[in-house]
Chain A
Amino acid sequence: MAVKTLESPLKAAKYKSDLTSDWCPGCGDFGIVNGIQQALAELALPPWETYLFSGVGCSGKTPHYIQVYGSHTLHGRVLPYSLGAKMANPHLTVLAVGGDGDGYGIGSGHFVHAGRRNVDMTYIVFNNEVYGLTKGQASPTLEKGMQPKSLALPHISQAINPLALALACGYTFIARSYAYDPKHLKATIQAAVNHRGMALIDVLQPCPTYNDIHTKEFYAEKLEKEGNEIPRVYYIEETGYDGVVKNSNDVQEVNEKRMNAFNAMYKLEDQVALGTFYKIELDTYDELLGKNLPQLKDAAPIDLKYHDDQMNPTTDLSSALAEIQV
């Protein structure tokens, strides 16, 4: 379903609400909010047709700072809310945001199944490896053996790999970005929104209060490789990597790209790769729905009328009643 854009685009400042955020100074969330506002402005999306959902946690407050339809839902349930809204009204541009605990922990069941449906929406996960709002407990992305200062003991559970999980679940756009790389973040959000299908952006987001390991400084560090100085963070596409499937009907290409993506997602290195690991164009949920339900071939569920101007219901039950008339 095509999304409308504004004839005269608004400046990014117009996508800022009048609320001041209450995040800790230095929080990576600021960078992400900025990235979303910039991307929405460049995409020229009408604020009243753009619907931003969030879960619960520090990141859950994000919609309140952005001047579009905003819904701060329940812990772990951001995807069901977003999916429901987009399926009901595909004219809306739907984005979801949430923390790693929200999406990969309490909401992990929804994360898995959202991948199966290819609803046309974007999910941005703020990944800081801790539950910030409850004072720094381990999130599902905190690696085994790590002990940020908020933990009493070293962490002894394994971390999940959100990109690989997304690949296994069927997400059709899978990317990683970084909260303090505004250009990359903005461009990745734009690409995800423009992608027809279910997009995931896992955003590395330093938590200055509870995660003293993966800090802003950590990501800014220079490393040494064979006598050369290299950055901690690099762009995977600059290494010649191409995760975009050109022909989704080409089984061999799809397989190859999928395995390449899986290798890239699990690559053991001190560096951190940003970029689009996998992307494929497949039928979206509403396109498939139109094949099953004749009324939805050229219309969205929200468009279907069910009463006249006098508020009389217009649905004719006679065909269904005929089955049970005796």
Chain B
Amino acid sequence: MSGTTDISWMIGGPQGTGVDSSATLFARAMTVAGYWVYGKREYHSNIKGKHSYFQVRVKDVPVHSNTDPVHILSTFEHSTAEIHADEVVPDGAFIYDPRVTDPADLPLPSGVTKFPIEFGKIIEEIAEETGSNPVKLGIMKNTVAVAASAALLGVEIDSIEEALKGIFTGKKAKLVDLNMKAAEKAYAAIKPQAGFGDFVYKLEKPSNPPKSKSRLLVNGATATGLGKVKAGCRYQTYYSITPAVDECIYLEQHPEFGIVVFQCEDELSAINMAIGAATTGIRSSTSTSGPGFCLMSEGIGWAGINEVPMVVFNYQRGGPSTGLPTRNEQGELLFAIHAGHGDYPKIVMAPGDMHECFEDAFNAFNFAERYQTPVIVLPDKALANNTQSIEPFEEASLKVDRGQIEGVDPNYKEGDLEAGIQQFPRFKITDSGISPRVLPGTPGKIFWTTGDEHTEFGHITEKPEIRIPMHEKRMKKLDLAAKEIPQDLQYKLFGSEQADLTMVAWGSTKGAILDAMDVLKKEHNITINFLQIRMMSPFPSEGVGAILKKAKKVACIESNLSGQLAQLVRMRTSFEIPHQILKYTGRPISETEIVASALDVVKKDEKKVVLTYGR
């Protein structure tokens, strides 16, 4: 059977009508069938009514990004048809409800095959067969839309059933049968239609299907949550904000892990409660997004001067101010590395995919404790909300590192208190910059902390002769971190050393670049290598500088207006990246856009390419 191995499917609808659920079902069914998926979720800052959509790419090999063209547009209401009709490829398919949509009114390319499905009739039939209320079954239009698409792609209905079983578990298991009725009717309605046999984007059977249950279908918020659980995080504060709240809800939904997830009155409370908790020695974190992160910066400074190990996840979204609250942006890099007034060390890292979300969440707590300083992790909205099928997380090699903690003094005798309580030099000046900690509750020892500059015991001082070594001691820890943290956690070079173009990027654009590298090689014979920067502070100046100086041509790709990573690279390496590929529409960068913009840079020597695709 001839066919394709790479398709892009889209479903949409007013928010609150089950768009997410149907995309989850589709992605799960395709994964069950042995394919790999990557799904992009787009939604408004609205609860019900405004347009949202989900685009899922399906391939027979691992896939890390979306492409722009849509092969199947699956709709069950009119707005999605109107908004996305012109994105369908000329030989693609359009599934629609003839009761609400007339394809003649739409800007569909002329070759698109149209598949009318009587969604309402299917729901009414099931209601009658099962004696149910048809209004309550309305949500199953999603299942019909998914199943019709699967039928068109030539995917067996068993995969839909298996996926439904994975989604509806426990008390909801009875919904599997009901939804299967909808799926069967959708298959039956699609197959006899004109054009079904000629549809060119039928999926070829995967050549090397992975074993059942051998992969994860996950988004970045969940991957991060799991990384925190594995790290032993016991205390997580938050104030509700998009998109960070998804991770917090995930943790709340798993009380079995024993993490106190605390919803605060504001972000001032969220950061400072997390720090207060961290001073007791517990592993503590907070998760927020741009506006909340702004409010947190004073607290992060307190953790910095008091050398409190704690973790902040800042899920970036479109700024400034409320900006584009539900859309993607990488606009907080320079703010994050400079958050808070004054000089103090902070470790700032940016994960680029699901595995790195998990890995960075785990490592963040280790780094926080080893270097006794706040760690800021910068995912972005695309990472948080996009779904991907991946290999399992690497857990076997993980080790917990709690840094230098002193226990009870061997000479301490209970009852011998008249001799006095030992004041512990928590901020002892050391060569490495690291001072051993004791934790509250350690018999016989106490110390103080203060937001003021302080002595080794934590008392306020304004003496220059203490200020100088104390200030320097704290900052030194960054040099140590730069030396000790493994290189591949700081930056990674993908592809060969010699390339026509070196792409520099961070965060969620990683996937699109990796996918585009293959396309540029195969279809355009252009060699790309990709320098992913993961550690923003301390910045790997030497390694990054060396790679860039050797590069033939360099472009920095970012989802922001001002090229913040390029600015940081220049600040830290003196290397001015000559080409910029930027997108600030709030929509993630696709493989299609990377391919096109790389051609613009390589062939036309464009200095600045601004990307705009996406609704």
The size bracket of the interface on B is 35 or more
- Assuming the contacts A80-B264, A109-B266, asked whether A64 and B276 have C-beta atoms less than 8 A apart, the reply is no
- Assuming the contacts A61-B460, A73-B451, A326-B28, asked whether A85 and B277 have C-beta atoms less than 8 A apart, the reply is yes
- Assuming the contacts A64-B460, A74-B451, A109-B265, asked whether A326 and B272 have C-beta atoms less than 8 A apart, the reply is no
* Chain A residues with CB below 8 A from B212, complex form: 326
Looking at the assembled complex, report how far the CB atom of A173 sits from the nearest CB atom of chain B, in whole angstroms.
21
For the complex, give the distance between the alpha carbons of A326 and B166 in Å. 8
Partner of A313, one of B232, B258, B273, B417: B232
Q: Is the CB of A311 within 8 A of B421?
A: no
Looking at the assembled complex, report how far the CB atom of A312 sits from the nearest CB atom of chain B, in whole angstroms.
7
Partner of B400, one of A61, A68, A289, A306: A306
For the complex, give the distance between the alpha carbons of A82 and B269 in Å. 11
For the complex, give the distance between the alpha carbons of A326 and B35 in Å. 11
* Chain B residues with CB below 8 A from A19, complex form: 459
Q: Is the CB of B281 within 8 A of A81?
A: no
- Assuming the contacts A71-B279, A301-B234, asked whether A313 and B400 have C-beta atoms less than 8 A apart, the reply is yes
Partner of A72, one of B237, B362, B402, B449: B449
Q: Is the CB of B231 within 8 A of A48?
A: no
For the complex, give the distance between the alpha carbons of A294 and B235 in Å. 15
* Chain B residues with CB below 8 A from A61, complex form: 460
Partner of B441, one of A7, A70, A91, A321: A91
* Chain A residues with CB below 8 A from B386, complex form: none
Say if the beta carbon of B143 comes within 8 Å of chain A. no
Partner of B458, one of A51, A70, A311: A70
- Assuming the contacts A84-B272, A294-B255, asked whether A306 and B277 have C-beta atoms less than 8 A apart, the reply is no
Say if the beta carbon of A207 comes within 8 Å of chain B. no
Q: Is the CB of A72 within 8 A of B448?
A: yes
Say if the beta carbon of B280 comes within 8 Å of chain A. yes
Chain A interface: which of B43-51, B84-92, B215-223, B546-554? B215-223
Q: Is the CB of B218 within 8 A of A80?
A: no
* Chain A residues with CB below 8 A from B217, complex form: 324, 326
For the complex, give the distance between the alpha carbons of A10 and B31 in Å. 67
Say if the beta carbon of A271 comes within 8 Å of chain B. no
Looking at the assembled complex, report how far the CB atom of A122 sits from the nearest CB atom of chain B, in whole angstroms.
15
Residue of B nearest to A293 (CB): B255
Chain A interface: which of B391-399, B472-480, B492-500, B534-542? B391-399
For the complex, give the distance between the alpha carbons of A14 and B362 in Å. 42
Say if the beta carbon of A95 comes within 8 Å of chain B. no
Q: Is the CB of A80 within 8 A of B276?
A: yes
For the complex, give the distance between the alpha carbons of A47 and B423 in Å. 11
- Assuming the contacts A74-B302, A320-B254, asked whether A51 and B440 have C-beta atoms less than 8 A apart, the reply is yes
Looking at the assembled complex, report how far the CB atom of A87 sits from the nearest CB atom of chain B, in whole angstroms.
6
* Chain A residues with CB below 8 A from B400, complex form: 306-307, 311-313
For the complex, give the distance between the alpha carbons of A82 and B393 in Å. 36
The size bracket of the interface on A is 35 or more
Partner of A83, one of B276, B283, B444: B276
* Chain B residues with CB below 8 A from A110, complex form: 265, 268-269
Q: Is the CB of B445 within 8 A of A48?
A: yes
Say if the beta carbon of B504 comes within 8 Å of chain A. no
Q: Is the CB of A80 within 8 A of B269?
A: yes
Residue of B nearest to A54 (CB): B450
User: Mask for B388-419, Cβ within 8 A of A = 1, else 0?
Assistant: 01001101001111100000000000110110
* Chain A residues with CB below 8 A from B393, complex form: 317
Partner of A80, one of B272, B281, B401: B272
Residue of A nearest to B424 (CB): A48
User: Mask for A176-188, Cβ within 8 A of B = 1, else 0?
Assistant: 0000000000000
Q: Is the CB of B257 within 8 A of A80?
A: no
Q: Is the CB of B272 within 8 A of A77?
A: yes
* Chain A residues with CB below 8 A from B114, complex form: none
* Chain B residues with CB below 8 A from A56, complex form: 451
Looking at the assembled complex, report how far the CB atom of B344 sits from the nearest CB atom of chain A, in whole angstroms.
14
User: Mask for A307-324, Cβ within 8 A of B = 1, else 0?
Assistant: 100011101010111001
Residue of A nearest to B452 (CB): A72
Residue of B nearest to A325 (CB): B213
Looking at the assembled complex, report how far the CB atom of B502 sits from the nearest CB atom of chain A, in whole angstroms.
35
Partner of A47, one of B392, B415, B421: B421
Say if the beta carbon of A49 comes within 8 Å of chain B. yes
* Chain B residues with CB below 8 A from A292, complex form: 255
Say if the beta carbon of B491 comes within 8 Å of chain A. no
User: Mask for A54-92, Cβ within 8 A of B = 1, else 0?
Assistant: 001000010110011111111011011111110111011
Residue of A nearest to B254 (CB): A320
Q: Is the CB of B441 within 8 A of A315?
A: no
Residue of B nearest to A107 (CB): B268
Looking at the assembled complex, report how far the CB atom of A198 sits from the nearest CB atom of chain B, in whole angstroms.
14
Partner of B276, one of A70, A85, A312: A85
For the complex, give the distance between the alpha carbons of A182 and B442 in Å. 31
- Assuming the contacts A61-B460, A89-B280, A326-B32, asked whether A84 and B398 have C-beta atoms less than 8 A apart, the reply is no
Say if the beta carbon of A24 comes within 8 Å of chain B. no
Q: Is the CB of A70 within 8 A of B444?
A: no
Residue of A nearest to B228 (CB): A315
Partner of B235, one of A48, A79, A87, A295: A87
Partner of A81, one of B215, B273, B448: B273
What are 23 contact pairs spanning A and B, CB under 8 A?
A14-B417, A14-B420, A46-B443, A48-B445, A63-B448, A71-B306, A72-B450, A73-B276, A81-B276, A82-B276, A84-B284, A85-B440, A88-B280, A110-B269, A112-B265, A289-B260, A293-B260, A302-B281, A306-B283, A315-B257, A317-B230, A324-B216, A325-B214
Which residues of A pack against B, CB within 8 Å?
6-8, 10, 14, 17, 19, 46-49, 51, 53, 56, 61, 63-64, 67-74, 76-77, 79-85, 87-89, 91-92, 109-110, 112-113, 289, 292-296, 301-302, 304, 306-307, 311-313, 315, 317, 319-321, 324-326
7 more contacts with CB within 8 A, not counting A48-B444, A69-B447, A320-B257, are A48-B442, A85-B440, A109-B265, A292-B255, A315-B229, A320-B229, A324-B222
Closest 10 CB pairs of A and B: A306-B232, A84-B276, A295-B258, A81-B276, A80-B272, A84-B273, A72-B450, A88-B277, A84-B277, A113-B265
Which residues of B pack against A, CB within 8 Å?
28, 31-32, 163, 166, 212-218, 222, 226, 229-232, 234-235, 237, 254-260, 262, 264-266, 268-269, 271-284, 298-299, 302, 306, 362, 389, 392-393, 395, 398-402, 414-415, 417-418, 420-421, 423, 440-452, 458-460
